[in-house]
Amino acid sequence: MFERRLSARRILLALVVSTIAAIGPATSVPVLAKCDPGRADDGRYYFDGWYKTPGGTVGGVGSNIVNYSPWVHVTDDSVSAWTMTANGSLYAQVGWLEFPGSVRYTFTEYTTSDHNWHRKYFGAYPLGASTRYTTLYGNTAGYFTFLVNGGQIDKEPAQFVPNNGQNYGEIHTYDDQMPGGYNLHETFRNTQIYYSGAWHAFQGTGYTSAAPFHYSTNDSGQYNLDIWDGACAS
Amino acid sequence: MNKRILVASIVVVGALLATIWIGNGLVVAQAPILPIQSASAADLALQGVVLRQPGSTATVARTQAVAAAQARFPRAQIREVFLAQLADTNTQPNIDLLCWGVSLVLPANEIQTKGPMPGLSRSAPKYLIFFFDAHTGAFVEGISAG
């Protein structure tokens, strides 16, 4: 009787183990590690990336950006990475954005000529995947258009003419993690900018707001940009 | 007899006019605009968004939409909740859907990006509204401006 109970338990245990083994790999999601950089929550904003002002109108910027999941300080609003066309403080952009609690979106944002800003949120693309985010000016006359992986997701009225292109990671307090770690960079690949009637290698000028945030390139600054937070491994 | 001819003429002319109007897209039965507290129709129009009175009832409960919004922004306060026919002609593909709109106020007074580099502190959001399909509960889109 005892042996029968034991074997029944063994069968049950085997079933549970095999079920967990079967379900485990299927439900596990590759999540890039978050890292609390342990810095002060100063509420200031920081950028890490590159920009280019080629001369004349910029008709677009596109880049394959990895959807990275950074640490976002609980009282802060968001961390993002994006492509942008701009002129002074006016801008139009598309990219990924994460709020505290791993709440993620694809977002578009633009300013009207009165400097008011307007944003839309869409579903997020998979973590760890490289997604092409493209901001275009004038592709549809009078509009900025926003593309993800080549498909248009949004258009909004263009009330300024961009002369500048940018690709950045952006945080809103020092205690946010800039996307990327020193062992796992946030990457912008095949980054291009449209001007003088054609697409060109971005060939930007690097810029970082503070010492812990780094950038580099693996193709002599042609198309590829890496950024990361020096306080984090990944 | 004259009366009959007159009535028949009016009916025929009326039918013809109606046909012409409908043919030219001049007569489109649209529900009235739904006014909300959070944003003016003009504000929403800048984003290609129009909210109209709902023409049908929701199968998803209002509480479910509120819970979905609160799950996304646990620290936000609910400003208002409304059922509307959401039309967005800027989003691709265009949206024309019965939705729950949940208007939120975040404790942080700024949610927008600061770009372009080197950044600029910008005005606080005037509104932040998330829309959920009133038949499936699925997230449709969010809009914000400031």
pLDDT in tens, chain A (234 residues): 444 444 444 444 343 333 333 333 333 334 457 899 999 999 899 999 999 999 999 999 999 999 999 999 987 679 999 999 999 999 999 999 999 989 999 999 999 999 999 999 999 999 999 999 999 999 999 999 999 999 999 999 999 999 999 999 999 999 999 999 999 999 999 999 999 999 999 999 999 999 999 999 999 999 999 999 999 999
Structure tokens belonging to residue A182: 């020193």
Q: What is the ipTM of this complex?
A: 0.83
Which residues, 6 or more positions from A32, have their beta carbon under 8 angstroms from its beta carbon? A68, A69, A127, A128, A184, A234
In whole angstroms, give the CA distance from residue B99 to residue A127: 28
Interface residue A116 vs chain B (CB under 8 A): yes
Put simply, the answer to whether A78 touches B111 (Cβ < 8 Å) is yes
Chain B residue numbers with beta carbons less than 8 Å from the beta carbon of A164 are 116
Tokens 């700024």 sit on residue? B110
Put simply, the answer to whether A84 touches B116 (Cβ < 8 Å) is yes
Facing A152 at nearest CB: one of B92, B110, B121: B92
Helical H segments across chain A, by residue range: 2-27
Rg (CA), chain B: 22
Which of residues B84 and A234 earns the better pLDDT score?
Answer: B84
Q: Is the Cα dihedral B130, B131, B134, B140 positive or negative?
A: negative
In whole angstroms, give the CA distance from residue B91 to residue B100: 18
Put simply, the answer to whether B114 touches A172 (Cβ < 8 Å) is yes
For residues B32-59, give the mean pLDDT.
97
Interface residue A135 vs chain B (CB under 8 A): no
To the nearest whole angstrom, how far is the Cα of A149 from the nearest Cα of chain B? 13
8 Å CB contact between A67 and A129: yes
Buried-exposed string A139-149: b where 16+ CB fall within 10 A, e elsewhere: beeebbbbbbe
Facing B117 at nearest CB: one of A103, A151, A207: A207
Put simply, the answer to whether B115 touches A82 (Cβ < 8 Å) is yes
Chain B residue numbers with beta carbons less than 8 Å from the beta carbon of A123 are 139
- B-facing residues of A in 142-161 (CB < 8 A) are 151-157
**For B91, which DSSP code?**
B
* Model pTM above 0.80: yes
pLDDT at B146 over 50: yes
Which residues, 6 or more positions from B27, have their beta carbon under 8 angstroms from its beta carbon? B18, B21
Interface residue A45 vs chain B (CB under 8 A): yes
8 Å CB contact between B23 and B17: no
Per-residue DSSP letters for A124-152?
A: PPPTT-EEEEEEEESSSTTEEEEEETTEE
Nearest-CA residue of chain A relative to B130?
A121
In whole angstroms, give the CA distance from residue A24 to residue A33: 19
Interface residue B114 vs chain A (CB under 8 A): yes
